[in-house]
C-alpha cells in the first residue's frame, strides 16, 4: 500500500517549486522564526511547559542568527483558544510574545496578533495549517531569506507538508519534551495522511478540518 502516483507527483511538484523559491532567497540576509504555539495556557495566561520549551529554543536561535549578522523577526502564532471547556484569557500570540519580551527580545522583532489579523482576520489562527499559512505568507510578502519553524518533533512532518502546500520549505528546529501534546502515532497514522491525501491547506471555506478546529478551539465570544 502506498501513496497514489498522481498524489506523489503533485507533492513532488510543490516541493520543487518551494525549493526554487528558497534558493532564490539565499542571498537575503533576513530570517523569520515561527514558533509553533501550544495550547492551553496556564490559568494565569502564561505559556505552559511545552510552549515555553519552544519559546526558549527560539530565543537561542534568534541570538545565534543575530550574531551571524542576519536581520531576524519572530512570529508567535495563535488566537485565543478554548480547551476542555476553558477559554484562555489571552491569545497564544500575546502570551508567547510577552514571554519573549521578558527575556529581552525587543518589541520591534516580535509578531503575533498583528499577523494573525492581517492574514486570517476574524477566522483566527487555530491550528498548524493556519500557523504555516500566516508564516509563509509573511515570509513571501516581507522578502525574508530563511524560514525557521520551532516545533515539536512529533508535528514536524505534518507542518512541513503544510508549508510545502503554501510554497515554502522550512528549516525545522525541534524542542522535545518528555510529555508532548502531539501523539506520535496519531500524527503518523491519521493527521499526516490527512494532509497528504485529503486537505493540504485547511484554508478553504469548505474545509472540514478547518471547521472542526474552530468548533473545538475558538471561544464563542
CA separation for the pair 97, 76 (Å, rounded) = 7
**Predicted pLDDT at 221:** 60
Looking at the predicted structure, is the pLDDT value of residue 54 above 70? yes
Looking at the predicted structure, is the pLDDT value of residue 87 above 70? yes
Quick one: pLDDT band at residue 120, thresholds 50, 70, 90? very high
Quick one: pLDDT band at residue 178, thresholds 50, 70, 90? very high
Mean pLDDT of 29-44: 97
Looking at the predicted structure, is the pLDDT value of residue 1 above 80? no
Residues with Cβ within 8 Å of 27's Cβ and at least 6 positions away in sequence, in order, are 145
For the chain, what are the domain ranges? 5-217
Mean pLDDT of 78-95: 95
User: Which CATH number applies to 5-217?
Assistant: 3.40.50
**Predicted pLDDT at 220:** 83
CA separation for the pair 170, 117 (Å, rounded) = 22
Question: What is the phi-psi region of residue 197: left when phi exceeds 0, alpha when psi lies from -120 to 50, beta otherwise?
Answer: alpha
Looking at every residue in the chain, the average pLDDT score rounds to: 97
Mean pLDDT of 20-35: 98
Distances (CA, A) of 212 to 98, 147, 160, 187: 29, 28, 21, 17
Quick one: pLDDT band at residue 152, thresholds 50, 70, 90? very high
Quick one: pLDDT band at residue 155, thresholds 50, 70, 90? very high
Quick one: pLDDT band at residue 82, thresholds 50, 70, 90? very high
**Predicted pLDDT at 111:** 98
**Predicted pLDDT at 2:** 82
Looking at the predicted structure, is the pLDDT value of residue 118 above 70? yes
Amino acid at each position: 500500500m502506498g501513496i497514489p502516483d498522481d498524489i506523489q507527483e503533485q507533492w513532488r511538484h510543490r516541493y520543487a517549486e518551494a525549493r526554487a523559491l528558497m534558493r532564490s532567497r539565499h542571498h537575503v540576509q533576513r530570517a523569520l522564526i515561527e514558533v509553533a504555539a501550544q495550547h492551553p495556557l496556564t490559568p494565569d495566561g502564561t505559556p505552559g511547559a511545552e510552549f515555553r520549551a519552544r519559546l526558549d529554543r527560539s530565543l537561542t536561535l534568534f541570538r545565534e542568527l543575530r550574531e551571524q549578522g542576519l536581520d531576524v523577526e519572530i512570529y508567535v502564532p495563535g488566537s485565543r483558544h478554548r480547551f476542555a471547556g476553558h477559554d484562555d484569557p489571552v491569545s497564544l500570540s500575546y502570551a508567547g510574545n510577552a514571554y519573549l519580551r521578558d527575556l529581552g527580545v525587543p518589541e520591534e522583532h516580535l509578531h503575533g496578533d498583528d499577523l494573525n489579523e492581517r492574514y486570517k482576520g476574524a477566522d483566527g489562527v487555530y491550528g498548524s495549517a493556519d500557523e504555516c499559512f500566516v508564516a509563509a505568507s509573511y515570509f513571501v510578502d516581507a522578502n525574508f531569506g530563511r524560514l525557521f519553524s520551532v516545533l515539536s518533533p512529533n508535528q514536524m512532518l505534518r507542518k512541513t507538508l503544510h508549508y510545502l502546500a503554501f510554497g515554502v520549505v522550512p528549516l525545522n528546529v525541534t524542542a522535545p519534551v518528555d510529555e508532548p501534546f502531539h501523539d506520535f502515532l496519531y500524527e503518523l497514522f491519521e493527521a499526516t495522511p490527512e494532509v497528504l491525501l485529503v486537505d493540504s491547506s485547511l484554508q478553504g471555506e469548505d474545509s472540514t478540518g478547518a471547521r472542526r478546529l474552530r468548533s473545538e478551539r475558538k471561544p464563542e465570544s
